[in-house]
Structure formats: structure tokens, C-alpha cells
Amino acid sequence: MRQDRYSRHYSLREIGIIGQQKLSQARVLIIGLGGLGCPLSQILSASGIGALVLVDGDKIEESNLARQLLFGPSDIGKYKAEVARRQLEHLNPDIEIIAHAEYFEKSNAEHLLQGVDVIVDCSDNYKLRYLLSDFSESNQIPMVYAALYKWEGQISVLNFNGGPSYRDLYPNESALAALPSCSEVGVVSSLPATIGAMQATETIKIILGSEEVLSGKLLNYNALKASFYSINTIEKSKVSGEEYI
């Protein structure tokens, strides 16, 4: 482990050498390499997470470049997962980067989840979030959730030590179906970096064993108003995601 690279972590009482060793031994599954996944993966790789598993079946489009800063004009038409892997390997050659240019589905879920300590949802698809949460719950792997809408973002940690799931957070799936996507209503280019960085922080806290994790809470950020507010009453219901797998 390189001493100088992580010296600021070593100075933190909550991390130190032992905490950095925990980070270096962790395996994180990142679903989606868009606006959230790009900054998240950059921070986690730079922070020394031992292995990052990147999953995204999309190819890079010009409209991605304003907020997905791992990619440039010469990458248009290439798979996001493959380009991200090369960029992250350059950023930190001491960690393992595994790229899957495919989508997370029931058929490949168990393979992708093998050995994973944390799942990070960086998708823009509510149906996929239900599926991810269900597998997260059944495999007892915590999931860091986030979503974006215009100038607003939200984040929570799901299925943490038996805590609430995505189905507890949003029990009414039909209500989500009526919401437009970011491609339809837009999103300010700086917002994904802010929320993606917050996802990275929650991921690091989970790996370190912190007691101050956003489980049972939903943190909302309004970039236009520069304001935060938190909902602290998310409760675990009797509905289990395992029933849907």
C-alpha cells in the first residue's frame, strides 16, 4: 500500500492505517456509469478501494459529455464500462477494475454480486432499482441509492443491517412510473458530481463500519436553493424483496 497516496486518510482518526486496509480489501459493485457513476468511481478508485466492478451496457453519446467527465469526444460510440475501466486504471493502477459492458439482470445478478461488499445504484431506472434492492436484500449486501431530478438529488443507504429497502422507501411502483426521466426533463450538469460524491462517502463509511450511515433516512439536496433536508422516518416493512426474485 502506497504510504504517500493515502496519507490524508491515515491522519483521520476514523480511518487510519487499519481503515485504509479495509478499503483496500473491499469490493464495490457500481451499476451505471452515467452522471452519478463517473464521479463516484473516480473517487472510490482514487481512495484505494481494492476492487471496483463496473456494470453498464450503454455506449457513450455526445449528450453524456457535459456531466460524465470520464469521457471525451473521441469516446463517443464506445462502451462506457470499457472506457471507464481504462481511465480508472490510469488514475490508480494499484487497484482492480472489472468492466462488464452489459446490464444488471436476474440472469447475471448472482455472478456480478459474487464477493461484493457494497452495491452502488447509479442507474436512472426505477425498475432496475427495485431489482437491485431485492438482490441486495436477499444477499444481505448494503446498497447506496441515489436519484436526480432537474436541480434536485436524493440519497439513502438501503438494506443496511436489515434496514429499509427501496420497496420501503417507494412502496407504490406505479407512482414512479409516471415520473419523467432526466433525459426528458433535464438535469444541471454539476448536480451528478455532488450526489455521486455523497454516494462515495456513504460507501466508504459502510466499508469502515461507521455508525453514522444514511440508513432509514433520505437526504435531499436542492442545488438551485442551496438547501438540504432529511426525512428520518423510513421504516422497514414486512414486505421482503426476496419474494420478487
Q: What is the pLDDT of residue 175?
A: 76
Q: What is the pLDDT of residues 83-135, one digit of tens each?
A: 999 999 999 999 999 999 999 999 999 999 999 999 999 998 999 999 999 99
118-121 and 96-100 beta bridge pairing? unpaired
Tell me the average pLDDT across 18-25: 98
Tell me the average pLDDT across 129-149: 97
Tell me the average pLDDT across 10-26: 97
Helix (H) or strand (E) segment spanning residue 62: none
Name the pTM for this structure. 0.94
Q: What is the pLDDT of residue 238?
A: 65
Q: Please determine, for residue 241, whether its predicted confidence score (pLDDT) is greater than 90.
A: no
Among the listed residues 91, 98, 182, 223, the single catalytic one is: 182
Q: All 3 cell numbers of residue 160?
A: 443496511
CB 92 within 8 A of CB 46: yes
Q: What is the CATH number of the domain that holds 83?
A: 3.40.50.720
Of 18 and 185, the structure prediction assigns the larger pLDDT to: 18
Active site residue 182: yes
Q: What is the pLDDT of residues 55-78, one digit of tens each?
A: 999 999 999 999 999 999 999 999
135: Cβ contacts below 8 Å, ≥ 6 apart: 109, 113, 119, 141, 241, 245
160: in domain: yes
Q: What is the pLDDT of residues 157-215, one digit of tens each?
A: 999 999 999 999 999 887 787 777 777 788 999 999 999 999 999 999 999 999 999 99
Of 148 and 182, the structure prediction assigns the larger pLDDT to: 148
Query: Nearest-CA neighbor of 58 among 31, 39, 94, 40?
Result: 31
**Parent domain of 220:** 7-244
Q: What is the pLDDT of residue 177?
A: 74
What's the pLDDT band for 242 if we cut at 50, 70, 90? low
Q: What is the pLDDT of residue 189?
A: 96
Q: What is the pLDDT of residue 229?
A: 95
What's the pLDDT band for 19 if we cut at 50, 70, 90? very high
CB 163 within 8 A of CB 147: no
Structural domain count, the chain: 1
1: in domain: no
Q: What is the pLDDT of residue 204?
A: 98
What's the pLDDT band for 234 if we cut at 50, 70, 90? confident
26: in domain: yes
User: From CA 109, how far away is CA 188, in angstroms rounded?
Assistant: 32
2: in domain: no
82: in domain: yes
